[in-house]
C-alpha cells in the first residue's frame, strides 16, 4: 500500500494543456473518462478525473464508487495526493485495505447480524465476528456502478454513479435504487450527494470510507482535529453501541477544541489500537453543517467536513499503523435495533437524501 503521489506523464500533459489562463489558453478540462481495468469476471471499470480551475483534482472509479485520489496544494502551492490509494486496479480487486468506497446498504455495525422490521426478522452476513459490518461481505464497495457524466457547471464538474441493490442482496429486504454524485467545485470542495428509493421498507445508512493523510505520507497522529460533537455513543468490546448517549467531556474523545489525533490515543479503554468511535454531531441532522476540521501543521493543509448526517465515525487507520484517518458521516451504528437512535428506515414513496462535502485549503 502507498499514497498515490503523481499522475502519469500523459495525464500531466493533458492537465497542463487544459488549464485556463489569462492569456487565452483553453479552459479547464474538468472531466475525463478512461478505462482503469477489469474485474475477474471481465467487467470494465471506468475511472473519472474531475478537475477545477485551481489545479485540484479528484479521481473516482465505477468499482465500489471508490475515490482513488484527491490532489490538493499545500501552503506553498505544492500538489500532493491526500488520500490512501492504490497504484492500479488489480490492487483494489485483490482487496486493497484502505479503499475510499461507498458503504451500504448500512454503514458500520448491526448487532448479531440481524434486525426485525415490521414484524419480520432479517438475517444478514456475520462478517465482523458475530456482527454485520459495512453492508456485508461485498456490500456496495465491490460492485460495478453505472456511470453518467453530468452537464458541467460554470465552476464545477460532476459524475453520477447508480446501482440497483436487489431484494435479498446481503439479506436486506426490497429493491433499493441508489445514486451517488461526486462534484468538484472551484472552491476546492469535493461534495458527495446520496439518493435512494426502495420498493419495500429497508434500512439505509450510506457513507464513504475515505482515508485521509493531509501530509501525503507518514502517520496522522500529529494532525489536529476538531469535531462539532459534544456527545458520543459508548460501545462494547465488539464496537456495538450500548444504547447510551454520553458526553465526551473529560474523556479522550473530546475534540471540541483542536487536539492532536495522537495526543490521548493511548488513554482509550478498552484499547482498540486507536479511535473507532461514533460521535453525535451538534447539527440538526438535516442541514449541511460544519462537522469537522482537520489540519496538518507541516504542510498547512486544512480539510473541513460538512454533512447532513447526524453523526460521524472517527477511525484512525488502526490496521494501517495510523497511516490515514477516516471521518465517516453516518447515522449511528446499529440504529436499526435501537429505537432511541435516529431512524434509518426508508419506506416506499420516500426518498433518502444525504450530502457530505470535503473542502480543502492551506494556511
Give dist(CA 363, CA 309) in Å, integer: 28
Q: Which residue matches cell numbers 447539527?
A: 283
Q: Which residues contact 9 (CB under 8 A, 6 or more apart)?
A: none
Query: What is the rounded distance in angstroms from the CA atom of residue 325 to the CA atom of residue 323?
Result: 7
Active site residues: 209, 328
3-state helix, strand, coil in the chain (%, to 5): 10, 40, 50
Answer whether 163's CB lies under 8 Å from 140's CB. yes
Q: Which DSSP state fits 131?
A: B
Q: What is the dihedral of CA 13, 181, 100, 141, to 10 degrees?
A: -120
Q: Is 291 helix (H, G, I), strand (E, B) or coil?
A: strand
CB 86 within 8 A of CB 97: no
**8 A C-beta contact, residue 101 and residue 144:** no
Q: What sign results for the dihedral spanned by CA atoms 323, 328, 332, 337? A: negative
Between the alpha carbon of residue 348 and those of residues 6, 205, 253, 352, the distances in Å are 45, 16, 38, 10
Amino acid at each position: 500500500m502507498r499514497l498515490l503521489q503523481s499522475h502519469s506523464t500523459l495525464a500531466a500533459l493533458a492537465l497542463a494543456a487544459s488549464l485556463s489562463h489569462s492569456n487565452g489558453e483553453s479552459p479547464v478540462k474538468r472531466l475525463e473518462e478512461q478505462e482503469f481495468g477489469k474485474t475477474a469476471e471481465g467487467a470494465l471499470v471506468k475511472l473519472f478525473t474531475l478537475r477545477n480551475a485551481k489545479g485540484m483534482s479528484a479521481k473516482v472509479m465505477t468499482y465500489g464508487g471508490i475515490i482513488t485520489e484527491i490532489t490538493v496544494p499545500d501552503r506553498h502551492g505544492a500538489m500532493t495526493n491526500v488520500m490512501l490509494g492504490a497504484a492500479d486496479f488489480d490492487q483494489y480487486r485483490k482487496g486493497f485495505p484502505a479503499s475510499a468506497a461507498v458503504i451500504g446498504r448500512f454503514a458500520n455495525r448491526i448487532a448479531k447480524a440481524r434486525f426485525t422490521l415490521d414484524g419480520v426478522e432479517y438475517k444478514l452476513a456475520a462478517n465482523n465476528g458475530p456482527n454485520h459490518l459495512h453492508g456485508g461481505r461485498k456490500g456496495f464497495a465491490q460492485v460495478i456502478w453505472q456511470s453518467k457524466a453530468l452537464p458541467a457547471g460554470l465552476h464545477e464538474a460532476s459524475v453520477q454513479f447508480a446501482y440497483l441493490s436487489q431484494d435479498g442482496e446481503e439479506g436486506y429486504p426490497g429493491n433499493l435504487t441508489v445514486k451517488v454524485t461526486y462534484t468538484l467545485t472551484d472552491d476546492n470542495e469535493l461534495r458527495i450527494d446520496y439518493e435512494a428509493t426502495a420498493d419495500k421498507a429497508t434500512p439505509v445508512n450510506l457513507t464513504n470510507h475515505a482515508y485521509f493523510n493531509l501530509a501525503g505520507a507518514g502517520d496522522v497522529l500529529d494532525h489536529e482535529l476538531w469535531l462539532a460533537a459534544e456527545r458520543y455513543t459508548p460501545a462494547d468490546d465488539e464496537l456495538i453501541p450500548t444504547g447510551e448517549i454520553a458526553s465526551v467531556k473529560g474523556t479522550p474523545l473530546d475534540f471540541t477544541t483542536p487536539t492532536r489525533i495522537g495526543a490521548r490515543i493511548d488513554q482509550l479503554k478498552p484499547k482498540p489500537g486507536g479511535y473507532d468511535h461514533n460521535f453525535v454531531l451538534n447539527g440538526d441532522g438535516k442541514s449541511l453543517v460544519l462537522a469537522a476540521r482537520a489540519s496538518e501543521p507541516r504542510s498547512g493543509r486544512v480539510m473541513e467536513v460538512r454533512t447532513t448526517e447526524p453523526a460521524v465515525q472517527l477511525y484512525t487507520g488502526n490496521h494501517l499503523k495510523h497511516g490515514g484517518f477516516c471521518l465517516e458521516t453516518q447515522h449511528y451504528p446499529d440504529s436499526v435495533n435501537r429505537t432511541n437512535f435516529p431512524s434509518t428506515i426508508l419506506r416506499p414513496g420516500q426518498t433518502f437524501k444525504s450530502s457530505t462535502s470535503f473542502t480543502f485549503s492551506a494556511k
